[in-house]
């Protein structure tokens, strides 16, 4: 190689590096979604379809980190918790504005938090139920707490505590909060990186960059890099992928795991598997009697353990997730904060399963029925595989296919023996999933009817334990006890599969599901 | 055509609507699963579900809910979507034109394909031409709509790049271009039904005595075809087309999903999965009105083409 070409190469390399440092500004990213949002209010909304858009429109005082495990400053540049753990003081950034240019005040924050914690509003107020009162003064917001709450910083980084403009909301037509929310949600104004500009329901949604966004990019100018973010609603998986391959859209979410390998091989496409907090399991009814009065063998812990030992998770991961999943070791995902890495979960041990069934008095095996969501290829593949695995130890599985609404109605009424289930955390804290899966609470531990007095006690303690090490120890104990009691069947964790054109840079989906477009750019 | 016939046919529609309202209301409320649980999902506590049900009036006895529903409809109000929190009328007004566009487009393509091919098959009956036409459409009839849709998308959309993959565009020309593949999908299915019936109808007319007579008089084959055969064959086509409009709307549900078209078909599927009662009820009523209108028009056209129809 001569000197000249070497120099050319060096310059070219330098240019590539500087190019990759400075993201391209401007342009439109078209992103294919599998379904449209329903209702864009951060407090009254419920579905992931809303949440994953809301986080682009509204900003929170704190934000989850990119790994979804901790929090970082958001609209509040810092926060401090008093020594007794019962007061939290947050300092708002100065000069921050909503997308219409009006300033964000401490009064807006107080009003937003008061609205979010009102028990009459939506399903999420429980996340900040430890707040007793909110005071606002200058750029300081002070939260007085009923008890020390280690999960509060994470709650202040969760969508339902998004800060909204009080004056604009109050000016929306409507007699009460619910009516105003409907009107405001048609044209929401927040302080997130984007602002809703057009929404044709069921078809597309256009978000424009918020010119007043406070965060700066690598070029020291305000984020986001994109001018426009356009969401196209394409419910059919195959069509979404075809559109991406044809270059009509630049990104597509919810790629079926069966298509991942094929898209990875496509030179134009960047097939990304983002770590998630999603766990896939079988939820069992643990009660001695089923709703119809018949005896339930699943009330015996040995039977539940046997079923867990009789699952070949690695085979399921190949069959159902096409090699993209990993075995569950605890009821919470390995991406959930305070997941205990020393948890063993269950090994595949059919002999042990047979022995446990025999010990429980079921030497001739048992009959069980599981509800599946009709039309779900994953449920079908999963339960058919389980039928084989369990059949080998004498468990005869019957599959009952139901549409999602019927299935939900049945398990909410505790009228089921087993069902396929899945969970994704909304908050960077283990308390949400633990409250739902492991303690009696209002949902009777995911409707299993399971309850363990020690877990109940440990959970209450963990909810006010501010010492991180001690709290981790409590969660370790909860996870160990839960696995031993086996109220559910551990299956696998699955990633979020998002396919992007290679020209798309800087997109991130965090383990809580939030799509982060603020640093996304399209390279020319 | 007598106006009393038209009036009689119009009046028949009223009891039909009443029956549809009662049936739909009962059916959607009797299937398990309620909108609130579906919407709130796993995380909602029984308290929250109960409160939401109270706010939406879903805790009231069925008969009271039905009374409120009928009262609303009589006032020209179809209620508000539980899941989307916008008026049902607005949702339907936004999306119905798209589905109607697609349906009419598909019907046109279907007829344009079916009529000439059916006549050709009939005129050349029992030759290889006839065999090919019948075989192609027989295959078309047995293939599921979503399969045909995906194949057309893959070949004409992704591979050859002649048509956009999904969506429906902004302007009229855009609509024609974007909706061509979905309309073709539905049109092929419709044509398959039409060709079979139309071919036998044409054969029947061709062998009828009056056609033999016309031929004997020395009338040209072209005149016989246009004056006698087509006119009579059209009677059965119109009836069949009318009967199949309902099926077209049904087919639109799948086509709209595959081609990402935001029509009422997809709205209905989403509403059923979400148990969004007001949307299901509003859409069913709309469909009932549409199908009744199509049947009415079909009957009137039929009566025009064949005056004997008024007597039945």
- Tell me if A423 and B42 make a contact (CB, 8 A cut-off): yes
CB contact under 8 A, B165 and A236: no
**Bridge partners, A270 (sequence order):** A500
SS3 string, A410-424, reads HHHCCCCCEEEEEEC
pLDDT at B44: 72
| Cα–Cα distance, B125 to A189 (Å, whole number) | 68
Q: Is the predicted pLDDT of residue B37 greater than 80, yes or no?
A: no
pLDDT at B312: 53
d(CA B4, CA A513) in angstroms, rounded, equals 63
Q: Is the backbone peptide bond immediately before B91 cis, with ω within 30 degrees of 0?
A: no
- State the sign of the Cα–Cα–Cα–Cα dihedral B104, B193, B267, A500: negative
pLDDT score for A16: 45
pLDDT at A15: 45
H-assigned helices in chain B: 3-11, 13-30, 35-40, 46-55, 62-74, 88-123, 128-142, 145-152, 172-178, 180-206, 209-217, 221-223, 230-258, 264-273, 277-305
Q: Do the Cβ atoms of A408 and B158 come within 8 Å?
A: no
Nearest CA-CA distance, residue B142 and chain A, Å: 21
Contact B267 A202 (CB under 8 A): yes
From the list A54, A110, A49, the residue with the least C-alpha distance to A254 is A49
Q: Is residue B78 scored above 70 in pLDDT?
A: yes
Kindly determine whether residue A239 and residue B37, on different chains, have CB atoms separated by under 8 Å.
Answer: no
Nearest to B37 among A47, A412, A441 (CB): A412
Angle at B288 (CA atoms; ends B282, B293), nearest 5 degrees: 130
Q: Of B256, B4, B122, nearest to A234 (Cα)?
A: B256
Angstrom distance (rounded) from CA A360 to CA A352:
12
Nearest by CB to residue B166, choosing from A35, A234, A408, is A234
The residue of chain A nearest to residue B266, with distances taken between CA atoms, is A202
- Quick check: B105 and B173 in contact, CB under 8 A? no
Per the model's pLDDT, the better-predicted residue between B140 and B232 turns out to be B140
In this predicted structure, which of A41-45, B74-78, B226-230 has the lowest mean pLDDT? B226-230
Q: Testing the interface with B: which of A50, A123, A488 to mutate, by most B Cβ within 10 A?
A: A123
Closest CA to B305 of B242, B215, B222: B242
Using only C-alpha atoms, what is the Rg of chain A? 25
Which chain A residues touch B85 with a CB distance below 8 Å? 38-39, 182, 185
Nearest to A403 among B44, B55, B273 (CB): B273
Q: Output the pLDDT for position A430.
A: 96
User: B130 or B234, which is more confident?
Assistant: B130
Q: Give the mean pLDDT of B112-123.
A: 88
Element (H, E) at B279: helix B277-305
A336 neighbors A433 (Cβ within 8 angstroms):
yes
Of all helices (H) and strands (E), which one includes residue A11? helix A3-21
B66 CB neighbour count, 10 Å cutoff: 16
- Looking at residue B62, its pLDDT comes to 85
Mean pLDDT score of chain B, rounded to an integer?
84
Q: Is A404 exposed, middle or buried (0-12, 13-18, 19+ CB in 10 A)?
A: middle
β A418-423/A228-233 pair status: unpaired
Cα separation, A192 vs A206, in Å, equals 14
List CB contacts (< 8 A) between A186 and chain B.
86
Give the one of B51, B84, B260 whose C-beta lies nearest to A236's C-beta.
B260
CB contact under 8 A, A436 and B260: no
Q: CA-to-CA distance for B227 and B5, rounded, in angstroms?
A: 27
Give B55's contacts in chain A (Cβ within 8 Å): 178
Q: A interface mutation test: which of B88, B167, B256 has the most A CBs within 10 A? A: B167
Q: Looking at the partner chain, which of A122, A233, A407 has a beta carbon nearest the beta carbon of B260?
A: A233
Model confidence at B19, pLDDT cuts 50, 70, 90, reads confident
Residue of A nearest to B270 (CA): A35
Q: CB–CB of A400/A372 below 8 Å? A: yes
pLDDT in tens, B242-273: 878 777 777 778 889 889 999 998 899 889 88
The pLDDT value given to residue B168 = 85
Least CA distance to A237: which residue of chain B? Answer: B258
Using DSSP's 3-state secondary structure scheme, residue B47 falls into helix
Say what the ipTM of the complex is. 0.83
DSSP 8-state symbol, A97: B
Mutation site for A-interface testing, chosen from B30, B33, B279 by largest number of A Cβ within 10 Å: B33
- Nearest Cβ partner for A242 among B39, B85, B154: B154
Tens digits of per-residue pLDDT, B118-166? 888 988 888 999 999 989 888 888 888 888 888 998 899 888 889 988 8
Residue A467, min C-alpha distance to chain B (Å): 27
Task: Report how far Cα A333 is from the mean position of its chain's Cα atoms.
Answer: 11
From chain A, pick out residues whose CB is under 8 angstroms from the CB of B158.
Answer: 242, 245-246
Task: Specify the pLDDT at position A468.
Answer: 92
Question: What is the distance between the alpha carbons of residues A231 and A31, in angstroms, rounded to a whole number?
Answer: 5
Q: State whether residue A406 sits within 8 Å of chain B by CB.
A: yes
- Are residues A239 and B161, on separate chains, in Cβ contact within 8 Å? no
| Minimal Cβ distance to A246: which of B158, B260, B274 | B158
8 Å CB contact of B55 and A123: no
Does any CB of chain B come closer than 8 Å to the CB of residue A200?
A: yes
Looking up tokens 């003064």 gives: A137
Per-residue pLDDT of chain A (524 residues; tens, 9 = 90+): 444 455 554 454 444 444 455 789 999 999 999 999 999 999 987 788 899 899 999 999 999 999 888 999 999 999 999 999 999 999 999 999 999 999 999 999 999 999 999 988 877 888 999 999 999 999 999 999 999 999 999 999 999 999 999 999 999 999 998 899 999 999 999 999 999 999 998 899 999 999 999 999 999 999 999 999 999 999 999 999 999 999 999 999 999 999 999 999 999 999 999 999 999 999 999 999 999 999 999 999 999 999 999 999 999 999 999 999 999 999 999 999 999 999 999 999 999 999 999 999 999 999 999 999 988 888 999 999 999 999 999 999 999 999 888 898 899 889 999 999 999 999 999 999 999 999 998 789 999 999 999 999 999 999 999 899 999 999 999 999 999 999 999 999 999 999 999 999 999 999 999 999 999 999 98
B146 → chain A, closest CA residue: A236
Question: Would you state the pLDDT for residue B1?
Answer: 57
pLDDT at A21: 59
**Contact between A436 and A446 (Cβ < 8 Å):** yes
* Confidence (pLDDT) at A54: 93
Q: Assign B144 to helix, strand or coil.
A: coil
């Amino acid at each position: 190689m001569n000197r000249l070409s070497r120099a050319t190469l060096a310059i070219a390399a330098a240019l590539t590096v500087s190019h990759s440092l400075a993201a391209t500004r401007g342009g439109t990213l078209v992103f294919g979604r599998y379904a449209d949002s329903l209702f864009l209010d951060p407090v009254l909304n419920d579905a992931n379809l809303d949440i994953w858009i809301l986080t682009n429109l509204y900003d929170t005082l704190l934000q989850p980190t990119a790994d979804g495990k901790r929090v970082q400053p958001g609209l509040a540049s810092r926060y401090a918790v008093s020594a007794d753990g019962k007061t939290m003081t947050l300092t708002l950034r100065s000069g921050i504005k909503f997308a219409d240019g009006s300033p964000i005040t401490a009064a807006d924050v107080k009003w937003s938090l008061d609205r979010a914690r009102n028990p009459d509003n939506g399903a999420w107020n429980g996340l900040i139920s430890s707040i007793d009162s909110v005071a606002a003064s200058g750029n300081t917001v002070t939260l007085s707490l009923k008890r020390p709450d280690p999960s509060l910083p994470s709650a202040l980084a969760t969508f339902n505590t998004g800060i909204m403009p009080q004056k604009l909301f109050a000016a929306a037509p409507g007699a009460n909060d619910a009516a105003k929310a409907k009107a405001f949600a048609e044209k929401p104004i927040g302080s997130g990186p984007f602002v809703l500009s057009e929404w044709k329901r069921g078809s597309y949604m256009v978000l424009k960059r918020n010119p007043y966004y406070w965060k700066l990019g690598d070029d020291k100018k305000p984020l986001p890099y994109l001018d426009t973010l356009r969401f196209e609603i394409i419910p059919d998986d195959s069509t979404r992928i075809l559109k991406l391959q044809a270059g009509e859209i630049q990104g597509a979410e919810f790629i079926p795991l069966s298509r991942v390998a094929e898209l990875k091989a496509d030179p134009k496409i960047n097939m990304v598997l983002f770590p998630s907090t999603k766990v896939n399991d079988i939820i069992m009814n643990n009660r001695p009697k089923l709703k119809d009065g018949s005896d339930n063998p699943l009330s015996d812990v040995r039977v539940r353990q046997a079923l867990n030992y009789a699952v070949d998770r690695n085979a399921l991961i190949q069959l159902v997730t096409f090699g993209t999943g990993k075995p569950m070791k605890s009821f919470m995902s390995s991406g959930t904060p305070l997941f205990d890495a020393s948890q063993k979960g269950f090994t595949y041990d059919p002999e042990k399963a047979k022995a446990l069934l025999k010990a429980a008095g079921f030497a001739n095996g048992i009959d069980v029925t599981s509800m599946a969501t009709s039309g779900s290829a994953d449920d079908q593949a999963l339960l058919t595989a389980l039928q084989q695995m369990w059949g080998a130890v004498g468990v005869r599985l019957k599959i009952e296919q139901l549409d999602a609404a019927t299935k939900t109605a049945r398990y909410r009424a505790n009228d089921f023996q087993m069902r396929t289930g899945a969970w994704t955390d909304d908050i960077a804290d283990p308390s949400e999933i633990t409250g739902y899966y492991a303690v009696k609470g209002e949902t009777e531990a995911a409707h299993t009817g399971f309850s363990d007095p020690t877990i109940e006690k440990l959970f209450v303690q963990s909810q006010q334990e501010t010492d991180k090490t001690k709290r981790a120890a409590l969660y370790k104990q909860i996870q160990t006890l839960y696995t031993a009691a086996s109220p559910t069947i551990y299956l696998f964790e699955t990633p979020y599969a998002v396919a992007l054109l290679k020209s798309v840079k800087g997109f991130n989906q965090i383990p809580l599901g939030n799509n982060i477009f603020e640093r996304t750019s399209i390279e020319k | 055509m007598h106006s009393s016939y038209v009036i009689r046919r119009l009046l028949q529609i009223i009891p039909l609507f009443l029956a549809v309202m009662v049936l739909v209301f009962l059916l959607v409320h009797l299937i398990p699963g309620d909108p609130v649980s579906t919407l709130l999902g796993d995380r909602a506590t029984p308290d929250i579900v109960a409160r939401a049900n109270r706010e939406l009036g879903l805790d009231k006895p069925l008969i009271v809910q039905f009374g409120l529903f009928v009262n609303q409809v009589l006032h020209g109000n179809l209620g508000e979507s539980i899941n989307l929190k916008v008026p049902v009328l607005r949702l339907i007004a936004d999306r119905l034109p798209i589905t109607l566009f697609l349906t009419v487009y598909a019907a046109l393509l279907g007829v344009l394909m079916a009529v000439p091919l059916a006549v050709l098959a009939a005129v050349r009956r029992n030759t290889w031409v006839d065999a090919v036409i019948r075989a192609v459409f027989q295959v078309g009839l047995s293939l599921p709509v979503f399969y045909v849709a995906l194949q057309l998308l893959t070949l004409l959309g992704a591979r050859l790049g002649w048509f956009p993959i999904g969506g429906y565009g902004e302007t009229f020309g855009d609509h024609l271009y974007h909706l061509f593949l979905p309309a073709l999908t539905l049109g092929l299915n419709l044509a398959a039904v039409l060709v079979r019936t139309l071919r036998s109808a044409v054969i029947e007319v061709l062998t009828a005595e009056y056609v033999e007579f016309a031929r004997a008089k020395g009338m040209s084959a072209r005149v016989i075809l246009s004056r006698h055969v087509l006119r009579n064959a059209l009677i059965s086509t119109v009836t069949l087309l009318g009967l199949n409009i309902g099926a077209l709307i049904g087919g639109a549900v799948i086509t709209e999903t595959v081609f990402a078209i935001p029509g009422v078909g997809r709205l209905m599927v989403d509403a059923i999965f979400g148990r969004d009662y007001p949307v299901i009820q509003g859409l069913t009523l709309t469909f009932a009105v549409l199908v009744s209108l199509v049947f009415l028009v079909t009957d009137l056209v039929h009566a025009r083409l064949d005056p004997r129809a008024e007597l039945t």
